[in-house]
Chain A
């Protein structure tokens, strides 16, 4: 039987899996503020809230309740993110979101490997993450930072100028839209049959077979060999 290698620590899996819940609540509660297309969410929530609070304005009642959910989710997620951020900063230089090799040629080669794997279905040479995953992770970090900072500017808007609050509102929405688009791609690729082992590792065991890593993540396997984690 092939040796199991831990690829996602318990902390990483805990944060990722709970981040999922928070993003769900933040998205559901934020979309109606972003666009009237999603008013149905506020109406859906608003009907019981309006009945319970004796408020005749259903949309208004729903939106107020969703704002509360948005603030609460954002606050708890911020608290949860603080220890996780410190843990990640401790191994900052070793984070797999950074390129295995730097430079334009290495980046182009990374995309060629992705094409080989996802389009031609040939064997490709990847690190722990492929170039697409690395770019995704970097973009998510940037978007989350912008969303968090702009969100807190909007909550404590009385301490800032109207212009800054206006910029924060724009930045909050734009970074959410970028993040949302990236998440659609992320969810598609994460649930794609070709990634079922990684999916299982993230949501169940945190481990991958040594043979699987050797076959699918050869650069990562070499790195593990150098570190003495595999023979």
Chain B
């Protein structure tokens, strides 16, 4: 299976939120299908942890020159996923097609992924971490993810990375020509070393990156330092052990010499 990718295009999006309804519905169906949840329980309960696509509405400017932006908060399925790297129990895995998935049966709820994710995505509820799983069950069976499947304007689309990237670049080029505003494909190129490329990309005017909360340098400094110190610490531990053994050998040899010297002095 080739690498799977999802793209959100801000231009044709009509803010109908069908993608969110699709995501929520699909996850509730999964609960009924796999976790033996009753229909009532899975529909009536809030179960926020199963809503993997969340709107963040913001207003900019002062009327009449104001505008509203609805950014989407979701997992970006990073190429160098920090959540996957830090998980101590290997509950987070990369499926065939590069979708990053949390296995709740293995998760111990330590929140390491929450601390490592620079996009604040995973949520821990009842001792288990949750985030978008890219509808891997649908994708691996030849279907589209529910959000892309339900989108009426093709603002959310998915497919192999080649197809999605070529369509995304084509659209970004068109929008730039038509509107005169530079449009970029966020996440198609390496965002930074901490997350690498993203498997959920966004077509957006460059000037709106901040408004849509698309961080151009997403990091978690403390976690990066932690990883560096871990590597340095292992090397230092080896050096200290070798140094200690070396000192002991030197010290015993010197002691022998000193005792010999003392004996000669006595004679």
Q: Identify the A interface with B (CB < 8 A).
A: 32-37, 42, 56-57, 59-60, 63-64, 67, 118-121, 154, 157, 162, 165-171, 173-174, 177-178, 180-181, 184-185, 188, 192, 194
Contact = CB atoms under 8 A, between A and B. Distances in A.
Nearest to B248: A192
Contact of B226 (A165, A170, A192): A170
Contacts of A188: 240, 244, 247-248
B237 interface: yes
A67 B112 CA distance: 13
Contact of A184 (B116, B225, B241): B241
B88 A121 contact: no
B88 A33 contact: yes
Residue from A56, A166, A167 whose CB has the most chain B CB atoms within 10 Å: A166
Given A57-B106, A165-B111, A177-B230, A171 B251 contact: no
Interface residues of B, number: 37
B88 A181 contact: no
B112 A169 contact: yes
B251 A181 contact: no
Contacts of B240: 181, 184-185, 188
A141 to B, nearest CB: 20
Contacts, number: 94
B28 to A, nearest CB: 25
A169 B90 contact: no
Given A169-B223, A181-B236, A157 B112 contact: no
Interface in B193-248: 220-223, 225-226, 229-230, 233-234, 236-237, 240-241, 244, 247-248
24 contacts: A33-B88, A34-B230, A35-B230, A36-B88, A42-B89, A56-B105, A59-B106, A67-B108, A121-B251, A121-B258, A162-B114, A166-B116, A166-B220, A169-B112, A169-B223, A169-B226, A170-B225, A170-B226, A174-B225, A174-B226, A181-B233, A184-B240, A184-B244, A194-B251
List the 8 closest A-B pairs by CB distance, nearest first.
A170-B222, A177-B233, A166-B115, A188-B244, A170-B226, A167-B222, A169-B115, A173-B226
